[in-house]
């Protein structure tokens, strides 16, 4: 009888401990932090993202963004033309297919790549669980009122893989542009993100740098 009573007491306690651990594992802030740690650990490999953007007047467009350290390459496909841009912080080269023209501008410092907003969410946003499946969590992130930077999206919806903590889908909007990122992967080479002038021999150049050489 004593053994039966002991089991009667220990079983509910064990269940409470298990449930407590389960609830703790579901904390959205911790899930997002684990995603950020994954990006931090694999940052040196670079990232590749495929983005569908809905731009006022222009309409829907697809983009592929590759980032490695301070360098990035952005490929944009529109209905009648395509745009490809390379950046190394100091300089931005943009080729526009319809005009067959390469525009060179001064770069802008202060960013490490296109996934910066994903790597600082726990500092800039409140995160709450919106839903979940057996494979992923759906987390809604709302920017803190104290954050005044307009370059940081106000609201972001994330689908994060339960096993890998990799973002499977990201939906947000910035300056009236709605964006959906359905593919993020690690791994790109230096060649992928470096501008090669040899590819644009004979193309019209427009150099808008303040101190052009």
Predicted pLDDT of residue 77: 87
Predicted pLDDT of residue 109: 54
Is 69 among the domain residues? yes
SS3 44: helix
Predicted pLDDT of residue 117: 76
Element (H, E) at 119: helix 116-119
Complete edge-to-edge strand list for the sheet that includes strand 47-55:
125-132, 136-143, 155-161, 167-174, 177-186, 47-55, 59-68, 71-77, 82-87, 91-96, 101-106, 204-207
Q: What is the pTM of this model?
A: 0.78
pLDDT at 27 over 80: yes
Total domains in the chain come to 1
Q: What percent of the chain has pLDDT over 90?
A: 61
Residue 119 is part of a domain; what is its CATH number? 2.50.20.10
**Distance of alpha carbon 16 from alpha carbon 34, whole angstroms:** 25
Predicted pLDDT of residue 115: 62
| CA-to-CA dists, residue 16 to 26, 51, 100, 129, angstroms | 15, 43, 67, 22
Is 60 among the domain residues? yes
Two tokens at 28? 């959205």
Is 156 among the domain residues? yes
**Distance of alpha carbon 135 from alpha carbon 137, whole angstroms:** 7
Two tokens at 67? 């980032």
Please count the residues of the chain.
213
pLDDT at 17 over 90: no
Containing structural domain, residue 68: 28-78+111-188
- Which segments of 35-149 are extended strands (E)? 47-55, 59-68, 71-77, 82-87, 91-96, 101-106, 125-132, 136-143
Per residue in 150-201, pLDDT (tens digit) is 888 999 999 999 999 999 999 999 888 899 998 999 999 999 999 999 999 8
Is 42 among the domain residues? yes
The residues that bridge with 183 in the sheet, in sequence order, are 50
Is 178 among the domain residues? yes
Per residue in 69-117, pLDDT (tens digit) is 889 999 998 877 899 999 998 999 999 999 999 999 998 754 444 567 7
Is 88 among the domain residues? no
Read off the pLDDT of each residue in 140-156 and give the average, rounded to a whole number: 90
Is 91 among the domain residues? no
**Distance of alpha carbon 23 from alpha carbon 20, whole angstroms:** 5
Taking a C-beta distance cutoff of 8 angstroms, is the pair 24, 33 a contact? no
Taking a C-beta distance cutoff of 8 angstroms, is the pair 85, 73 a contact? yes
**Distance of alpha carbon 86 from alpha carbon 74, whole angstroms:** 7
Is 64 among the domain residues? yes
Taking a C-beta distance cutoff of 8 angstroms, is the pair 80, 98 a contact? yes
Instruction: Give the lowest-confidence range in 44-48, 53-57, 184-188.
Output: 53-57
Instruction: Give the lowest-confidence range in 19-28, 47-56, 83-92.
Output: 19-28
């Amino acid at each position: 009888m004593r053994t039966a009573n002991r089991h009667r007491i220990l079983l509910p306690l064990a269940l409470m401990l298990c449930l407590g651990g389960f609830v703790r594992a579901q904390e959205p802030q911790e899930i997002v932090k684990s995603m950020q740690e994954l990006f931090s650990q694999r940052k040196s490999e670079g990232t590749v993202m495929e983005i569908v953007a809905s731009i006022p007047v222009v309409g829907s467009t697809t983009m592929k963004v590759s980032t490695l350290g301070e360098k990035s390459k952005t490929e944009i496909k529109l209905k009648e033309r395509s745009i490809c841009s390379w950046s190394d912080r100091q300089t931005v080269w943009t080729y526009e297919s319809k005009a067959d023209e390469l525009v060179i501008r001064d770069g802008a410092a202060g960013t490490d790549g296109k996934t910066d907003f994903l790597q600082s969410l726990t500092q800039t946003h409140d995160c709450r669980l919106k839903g979940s499946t057996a494979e992923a969590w759906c987390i809604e992130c709302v920017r803190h009122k104290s954050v005044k930077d307009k370059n940081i999206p106000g609201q972001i919806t994330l689908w994060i893989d339960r096993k890998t903590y990799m973002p499977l889908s990201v939906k947000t909007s910035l300056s009236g542009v709605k964006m959906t990122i359905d593919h993020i992967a690690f791994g790109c080479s230096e060649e992928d993100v470096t501008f090669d002038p040899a590819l644009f021999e004979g193309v019209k150049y427009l150099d808008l740098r303040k101190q052009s050489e």
